[in-house]
Structure 1
Amino acid sequence: MPATKDRAGRSRAMPRPFTLWREVLTAYAAPALTAGAAAVATGQRDLALAAVTSIAGTSAAVAFLVGAWLRNGGRPRRWTTDLPRVVVAVVLVVAATGAAALLGWCAARWLPGHTLAPVGVRPERLGIDLPLSAALATAVVTLRWRSTVARQALS
């Protein structure tokens, strides 16, 4: 991996460039494995199902949407690169979490009366799983994207 010098003159490895498919894959695998391990350790079947569906699926979908928006310019682009990266991450996390919370709330109320969900499926989990997964995925993808943009600008 190529190296670069930071402000203090220390040599640091360059981060990998922002690759959307890698970010989406990681956004799916990480929560699926961690929530799945917790489900196995505690014997919670509903958590095991949620780990690979609502938790990891939401995380991957949000990582794709936010990552694609950022990679393709993030309109208006100026604020995404001019503001401190923590501020950009907070703004996007709040927006994604709010949208996911609304979607989770609506789905938790609509699904029970309109689907034949198998026993063990708890749609009320969507009100927590979706916004939490969206917040984490948005924060990670935004900070990762921003660090690669900063590195490209220095090169």
Structure 2
Amino acid sequence: MPNRQNTPTDPDDARPPFVLWREVLVAYAMPAAMAGAGGLATGQSQLLIAAATTIAGTSAVVAALVGARLRRRPADSWSTHAPRTLLAAGAGLCAAAIGLALGWSGAHWLPRVPALADSPWPDRLRIDLPVSAAIAATMITWRWRSTRPRRRRAR
């Protein structure tokens, strides 16, 4: 019977564990650093603010939600046997679609709030949310799937 736990018996199949808090921390820090560096290099103060809020924040929230959902998957579910590329691409596309819907809704409704009426921030949501959500969901799914034991072919 194959080993269904996260600690494989075969030393060739040893994989690092999937630790959600570390994944969420990286999902926040890396987009914040990259977008912040781009905003600093180009002198765009708006991008500097978005780097720490809508870009990195969206990435961290999506990574936490997707990662928590994936951790609860049983060891014999379809997601543990699906090809990693297909699984990660599907998660990224689903997250992008949800992010796009939320971004468009936010860009439509938030300017009606008097404090945000003249702010350029709601318009950024149309791009920041779907792109950040797609990248975070793809990366977290890819990382999670890489920690699962490999399937053995029947002989």
What TM bracket, shorter-length normalisation?
A: 0.7 to 0.9
User: Is 1:105 aligned to residue 104 of structure 2?
Assistant: yes
Deviation readout 1:2-34 (Å, 9 max, x if unpaired): xx437xxxxxxx543100000000000000011
Does the residue aligned with 1:116 lie in a helix, a strand or coil?
Answer: helix
Does the residue aligned with 1:18 lie in a helix, a strand or coil?
Answer: coil
User: Which TM-score applies when normalising by structure 2?
Assistant: 0.83
- Could you say which residue in structure 1 is the equivalent of 2:12? 5
Deviation at 1:117, TM superposition (A): 2.8
Q: Is there any run of 5+ residues in structure 1 with no aligned partner, and where?
A: 7-13
- Could you say which residue in structure 2 is the equivalent of 1:10? none
- Could you say which residue in structure 1 is the equivalent of 2:42? 42
Instruction: Show the 5 A alignment for 1:132-147.
Output: 132-147=131-146
- Could you say which residue in structure 1 is the equivalent of 2:92? 93
User: Is 1:33 aligned to residue 40 of structure 2?
Assistant: no
Q: Is there any run of 5+ residues in structure 2 with no aligned partner, and where?
A: 1-10
- Could you say which residue in structure 1 is the equivalent of 2:59? 59
User: Which TM-score applies when normalising by structure 1?
Assistant: 0.83
Q: Give the number of aligned pairs.
A: 142
Percent sequence identity over aligned pairs: 50
Q: Aligned-pair RMSD on alpha carbons?
A: 2.2
Question: Which residue identity does 2:113 align to in structure 1?
Answer: H
Return structure 1 stretches of 4+ with deviation > 4 angstroms: none
Deviation readout 1:111-144 (Å, 9 max, x if unpaired): 0111403866421110100000001101110010
